[in-house]
Amino acid sequence: MKHEKIIRRDDGSRVKIEVLLSLGVYSDAVEWRFATYKCEKGKRTWQTAIDPFAYELRGLADRDKKARERHLKLQLATEEEVEAVMLELLAKIKPVVS
């Protein structure tokens, strides 16, 4: 399931945080993923935090690549903001007990 939130910064730019919750089909595995995008003031296009053609990521091992991607994503949004969006998603799918 996916949830997104747009946060307006003081300088007029906007940051979009997308959170994805994946559940394993044949196991109890739960995986959280997130992405961050930035839209400059006065613009309409969103730019991703990670350049898909970045040469710096090509030579890294998978573990180092994931750590570097996480670091780049957190340049646009703080961990607290990402966690807040995760909690919004959990509240959205929480069952209502009557």
Which alpha helices (DSSP H) does 27-78 contain, by range? 55-58, 62-73
> Of 9-13, 58-62, 74-78, which range is least confident?
58-62
pLDDT tens digit sequence for 9-41: 999 999 999 999 998 888 888 899 999 999 999
Q: Which residue, chain included where needed, has tokens 């180092």?
A: 64
pLDDT score recorded for residue 41: 94
For the chain, the structural domain boundaries read 2-93
C-alpha 91/C-alpha 22 separation (Å) is 16
Q: What is the pTM of this model?
A: 0.86
Q: Which residue, chain included where needed, has tokens 């044949």?
A: 26
57 pLDDT tier (thresholds 50, 70, 90): confident
The dihedral built from the CA positions of residue 45, 20, 78 and 9, taken in this order, carries a sign that is positive
